[in-house]
Amino acid sequence: MSKARAVPIVSAGSAAAIRVSALAMVAVCWGALAIGGAYPWAYWPLAMICAATGIMGLRADRTAGAMSDGAGVSRRLSIVLGAVGAAMLLQIVPLPLAWLRTISPQTIGVLADTDFNYGAGLVRFHALSLDPASTGAALALYGAFAMMLVGMARVFGIDRDASRRFVEVLTVFGVVLALVGIVQKPLYTGKVLGIWEPESVGIPFGPFVNRNHFAGWMLMALPLALGLLCAGLEQGMRGLRPGLRYRILWLSSPEASRLILLGAAALVMAMSLVLTMSRSGISALMVSLMLMGWIIARGVKGRSRRTAAGVFLVVLFLTAIGWVGADSIVARFSDANWAGFNNRTGAWADAVHVASVFPATGTGVNTYETAARFYQRHDLGQFYGESHNDYLELLAEGGALVGVPILLALVLLAREIRARMKEDPPTTIWWIRRGAITGLFAIGLQETVDFSLQLPGNAVMFVILCAIALHRPRAERHQAQQPEPAPPRPRLRVVASNAIRVEVGP
């Protein structure tokens, strides 16, 4: 008679989480490989995938029977995210010209130079945005990303292993993306991935037209891989007997082999980032590794494990620098005009000027390039269609109308992430969440001198980091609702050869 095989049972919540996570991974891969999602043929399909991911995530939450309150994105944060979208919508609502002259008279001045119909007296209505079509596209993308954030935060909370599985797959894709960049660099002949000729001037790396944008993607992905590595190191070496012999024996275990592969993956990703020669990327990488070192010092239990993790971070950075060439990196940083932050201070001053001209309603999200044609005053030898500082650019494009709800959303986001950090048990989630936070900090630092998050492909990665940082595991949400233990079963005990007594209890 053959033995029955045990079949693992996958709960409805886990199955739903796997499906939604797979679709989210498709969005991440498409956003990166499709030239960063920089062109309409790339970002419109990306927006549909992200919106579908969010909808499926919300439906999966109901399928699994999970509670909505505290599942991921709080109701307050959801309302504020909606307020940001509503403010962007107000920028594209057509207004009578008399109202527009009162609310934003500067917009009328730009229309006189750009809109023939206005000059001919054929226009009676116009939106606050200088280019309503561009702002409408930005609003559609924002709506898709916001929906994805809410849905993925729920999904990561349904299944405790969902975030770990997602980061594992993401790490594999990160290695593939890194190898694409490493291989393409010496073989580049003017076409990205060998098939796409960039429409703008730049220094491509991998599938990105701008090497700084590739560095921004890696800045977000690498800390997640490091968090997964630290979690494995913390748990894999737990209970290991002291002594060199036992450590060597542990290195031959399957768990150690998995950690070695994770370490190699992180090393390849770091090497690709440094190979971009992006000054902002390398600088942010240094800061993020220092932050991860501080987290390791506080989170890893045991001196040997702390030492191993700390040594790996140092080796990772030094190996990446040494492989690219320390002299090349020093020369790269020495060539910069640090007095003007490599000619960025002029662009920053222009962005501040635009913000002062449109203080209340802004020029319209995604319209800075249009405004810069009229208000650029510095470095006139070249045109700056971006301010090279997304915070200043948002202020110029959104004004107080969009800027205030965005600021409120960031404050609520930080508060909720901090609350989740206090709730974390000492598990893999503890490390993955801190890896996500490190990635958010790193990209936030790079955004002070670049505009990586304007690439939809990078924005998807940002959404994933926020979802991981915000999610609350389902077991924690239902801790107070755990079913009471079943009453003990009666058992029989023979107390004499001719008597049987029934007892209740263990």
Residues (pLDDT < 70) of the chain are 1-13, 61-71, 236-251, 474-506
Which tokens is 390 given?
A: 């997304």
d(CA 211, CA 268): 16
Per-residue model confidence (pLDDT) at position 503: 46
Q: In the beta sheet, which residues pair with residue 208? A: 205
> Which of 160, 151, 130 is closest to 63 using CA atoms?
151
What was the pLDDT predicted at 376? 95
User: The pTM is what?
Assistant: 0.90
3-state secondary structure of 476: helix
* Three-state DSSP class for residue 121: coil
pLDDT of residue 495: 46
Give me the pLDDT at residue 482, please.
43
Number of continuous H segments (helices) and E segments (strands) in the chain: 20, 4
pLDDT digits (tens, 9 = 90+) for 141-158: 999 999 999 999 999 988
Closest CA to 439 of 310, 287, 288: 288
Q: How many residues does the chain have?
A: 506
Residue 504 is predicted with a pLDDT of 44
pLDDT of residue 111: 87
Contact between 127 and 92 under an 8 Å Cβ cutoff? The reply is: yes
pLDDT at 479: 43
Cα–Cα nearest to 362, from 90, 161, 72? 90
The pLDDT value recorded for residue 500 is 45
d(CA 131, CA 92): 8
Which helix (H) or strand (E) segment is 323 a member of?
helix 303-324
Per-residue model confidence (pLDDT) at position 497 = 43
Q: Where are the domains of the chain?
A: 163-474
Contacts 24+ apart (CB under 8 A), 380-388: 384/346, 384/347, 384/350, 386/347, 386/451, 386/454, 387/347, 387/348, 387/350, 387/351, 387/451, 388/344, 388/347, 388/348, 388/449, 388/450, 388/451
